[in-house]
Amino acid sequence: MPTLTAEHPTLGTISYRDNKRYWWALAILLPAFPLMGIGLYLYSGLEWTLVAPLVGIYIAVPTLDWALGSDTSNPPEALVPQLEADRYYRYLTYATVPMHFIVLFVAAYVAGSYPLSGWGIAAIAMSAGLYSGLAINTAHELGHKATGLEQLLARICLAVPAYGHFTVEHNRGHHVLVSTPEDPASARMGESIYAFALREIPGTFVRGWQLERQRLAKQGRSLWSPSNTILQSYALSAAIHIGLIALFGWLMVPFLLVHNFWAWFQLTSANYVEHYGLLRGKQADGRYERCQPHHSWNANYIVSNLLLFHLERHSDHHANPSRRYQSLRNFDDLPELPNGYYGVYWLAYLPWLWYRVMDRRLLALPHIQGDLSRVNIQPSQRAKIEARYD
């Protein structure tokens, strides 16, 4: 395991070893979850085994997060340039890209070639969609980087769940207006995940196209120009979908609908828990303050962070979006989620339980201290929330 060293003007020689260096490869091995369910079905012929990947992600991973706990360690800042220059970490993201295509093809082959019931097809589509939701996460890491290769790979990744507008919308929309009432991808206090989904999914789609239209207009190009990066990704999505229908028949239409929806809903779930109720203050000139680490919910749970390329260290990501995943930091006094993402998704899917756990946690934050004027509140729920907490 490589040891990084540097001479510090006051501390002398400093060194750092990333003890999770080889554990990051778990992100590449994650296809073992959906492929495990397929393998169990092909071995046993029992359809119920197709739900094994969902059990693994939504039950086993939160349990491991709870059992193994958090890692709050940070790399020394003086060594971050060396850490980010280590190409091993970016090769892991590159290697993940083809795995998304492999899992989708294998799942479609089994769904279209074996005598599965309707619920069996739904189970395999959801398992594949769960992993294709992670394709959006892979694209998230790649799409924040300035290299042409990583930008291209992000668009290719997004073709799998047919979510080609994500990088444009996320980088130039969400990161600009995060934790404000104007951002469709920032959840409000008192807003259920289901109400949020109805606002977030269409809202981010429309904003992505608007932002790409503006970019192309500045270059004197039409929205339908081949330079439209959203169209590039969607063209590949169309080729994938048409190809699967041609290979395995019209059964692929409901299969892909379930697959794509569940992939999208994984992003919606992440967006919901990442900024719930958090609000950036307005400055004297009417503009929002710069995004700070306390404007995102953070989580340092070991297992889910390894699977998600440190996505859960979301506070540092939003404060410093170009930072690579291996060098994202933890800070003191951050808004902290009570489990990794897959654990808190369970809370989010049960709104009454989510509000019970998260609303008081939100109001107890050091920068809020019960002051509802510092909270992003769902307008339709404001009177009820003020009556309960003010």
**Number of Cα atoms under 13 Å in the Cβ half of residue 268:** 23
| Cα gap 125→50, rounded to integer Å | 10
| Greatest distance between any 2 Cα atoms in the chain | 69
Residues 6+ apart with CB under 8 A from 208: 165, 166, 168, 169, 173, 230
Express each pLDDT in 349-368 by its tens digit.
999 999 999 999 999 999 99
Residues of the chain with pLDDT under 50: none
From CA 63, how far away is CA 69, in angstroms rounded? 10
Contact 90, 150 (CB under 8 A): yes
Closest CA to 102 of 46, 163, 50, 28: 28
Q: Retrieve residue 68's tokens.
A: 């193994």
Neighbouring residues of 350: CB distance < 8 A, sequence distance ≥ 6 = none
What digits encode the pLDDT tens for the residues 161-185? 999 999 999 999 999 999 999 999 9
Task: Tell me the residue type at 341.
Answer: Y
d(CA 284, CA 297): 26
Residue-level pLDDT at 1: 61
Segment 205-214 long-range contacts (CB within 8 Å, at least 24 positions apart): 205/165, 205/169, 207/169, 207/173, 208/165, 208/166, 208/168, 208/169, 208/173, 209/165, 211/168, 211/169, 211/172, 211/173, 212/165, 212/168
What per-residue confidence (pLDDT) applies to 34? 84
Q: Shortest CA distance to 25 belongs to which of 85, 100, 88?
A: 88
What is this structure's pTM? 0.94
Here the tokens at position 323 are: 């930072």
Encoded amino acid at 319, one letter: A
Instruction: Find, among 133, 12, 323, 359, the residue nearest to 315 by Cα.
Output: 323
Q: Which of 196, 198, 212, 124 is nearest to 164 (CA)?
A: 212
Report residue 379 as tokens: 């307008």
Location of structure tokens 């609000």: 279
Backbone angles phi, psi at 171, to 5 degrees: -70, -45
Please choose, from the candidates 356, 363, 339, 373, the residue with its C-alpha nearest in 3D space to the C-alpha of residue 60: 339
- Residue 189 dihedral angles phi and psi, to the nearest 5°: -60, 130
Contact call for residues 163 and 200 (beta carbons, < 8 A): no
Structure tokens at 283: 């400055």
Contact 186, 278 (CB under 8 A): yes
Of 105, 169, 153, 164, the residue nearest 131 (C-alpha):
105
DSSP H helices, the chain, are 26-29, 32-44, 52-55, 61-68, 80-85, 87-113, 118-143, 148-159, 166-169, 175-177, 193-218, 229-248, 252-274, 302-307, 314-319, 341-349, 351-363, 382-389
Euclidean distance between CA atoms 4 and 209, whole angstroms: 43
**What is the per-residue pLDDT for 91?**
95
273 vs 153: CA distance, rounded Å: 26
Considering only CA atoms, which of 42, 43, 37 is closest in space to residue 58? 37
What is d(CA 211, CA 14) in angstroms, rounded to the nearest whole number?
44
- The pLDDT, as a whole number, for residue 7 is 67
pLDDT value of position 121: 95
Joined tokens for residue 238 = 């169309």
